[in-house]
Amino acid sequence: INFAHGEVYMIGSYIAFIAITLLAMMGLDSVPLMMLAAFAASIIVTSAFGYSIERVAYRPLRGGNRLIPLISAIGMSIFLQNAVMLSQDSKEKAIPTLLPGNFVFGESSMNGVVISYMQILIFVVTFLVMFGLTL
């Protein structure tokens, strides 16, 4: 059981966040290109982390007691969580808006309902993924 699997996903999310932020700071305006670059960077870094974790924490312990790899997996999970927390801070991070703009339902944004284009996109993509997974 790889308890550090979720932490590798977390690292991939941070890498994508950092890549999108850096590309936005460099002036890249193409959302598909930013997403593709963030996806590629995330795949490369998480693959390297997964391979390194397997080589360092799991492979040397194969063939031994079944409890030892479990303890190693929990230790690796805690180590990765704390390493990311120290390197990225534990505060919330704002993701740059990829789709600016919003709909305002009501008289104004003060007493109406404001729904951003990004929220609509998230809803549509979530619905499509849920529908696709039920097929």
CA distances from 123 to 91, 118, 128 (A): 26, 9, 9
pLDDT of residue 79: 93
Residue 22: the pLDDT is 92
- Give, in degrees to the nearest 5, the angle at Cα 40 between 123 and 42: 75
Q: What is the pLDDT of residue 89?
A: 78
Residue 30 confidence (pLDDT): 86
Report yes or no: 71 and 61 within 8 Å, Cβ to Cβ. Answer: no
Q: State the pLDDT at residue 63.
A: 80
Q: Is 1 helix (H, G, I), strand (E, B) or coil?
A: coil
Residue 103, H or E segment: strand 102-105
Residues of the chain with pLDDT under 70: 1, 96, 108-110
For 38, half-sphere exposure in the C-beta direction (CA atoms, 13 angstrom radius) is 24
**Which pLDDT belongs to residue 109?**
58
pLDDT tens digit string along 25-62?
Answer: 998 888 889 999 999 999 999 999 999 999 988 888 88
Query: Quick one: pLDDT at residue 48?
Result: 95
Q: How many CB atoms lie within 10 A of CB 86?
A: 9
pLDDT at 41: 96
Provide the pLDDT for residue 80.
Answer: 92
